[in-house]
Amino acid sequence: MEQIAFTMQLRPGCADQYRHRHDTLWPELAVLLRAAGIRDYSIFLDAESGKLFAVLRRPCGHGMDALPQHPLMQRWWHSMADLMETAADDSPLSFALQPMFHLT
């Protein structure tokens, strides 16, 4: 399993709605993410800056690269675009983080 981490930016005042939408994540989206190989996915918030920090695990041969073309993923992004900074296609602007230390 590979572990990756990235940041995204939440718009001011949107933390409660962001949490609510994830607490009620569409079941079919959870199935899609798991089918793409996503495991142990967590998102954390720095409330002061609105910075979201995400970390997930995925196996070699994962299917995450196909997610941006999937209509369900695009629908989710569109439903979340009012809460966070996004690209023109409504995908969240995300920035990969480099691993620096890991203690097992």
Tokens of 25: 């994540």
102 is a domain residue: no
User: How far apart (Å, rounded) are the C-alpha atoms in residues 23 and 20?
Assistant: 5
Domain-embedded: residue 37: yes
> Catalytic one among 22, 62, 70, 102?
22
Q: Is 22 a catalytic residue?
A: yes
The reply to whether 101 falls in a domain is: no
Joined together, the tokens standing for residue 47 give 């409330």
In terms of Cα–Cα distance, which of 35, 34, 33, 40 is closest to 57?
A: 40
- What pLDDT does residue 104 have? 87
| C-beta neighbour count of 32 within 10 angstroms | 18
Residue 55 counted as domain residue: yes
To 10 degrees, the CA torsion angle through 90, 35, 96, 11? Answer: 40
Owning domain of residue 89? 2-96
- Residue 27 covered by a domain: yes
User: Considering the domain boundaries, does residue 104 fall inside one?
Assistant: no
Query: Is position 103 within any domain?
Result: no
The total domain count for the chain is 1
The domain spanning residue 46 has which CATH number?
3.30.70.100
Tens of each residue's pLDDT in the chain, 104 residues: 999 999 999 999 999 999 999 999 999 999 999 999 999 999 999 999 999 999 999 999 999 999 999 999 999 999 999 999 999 999 999 999 999 999 98
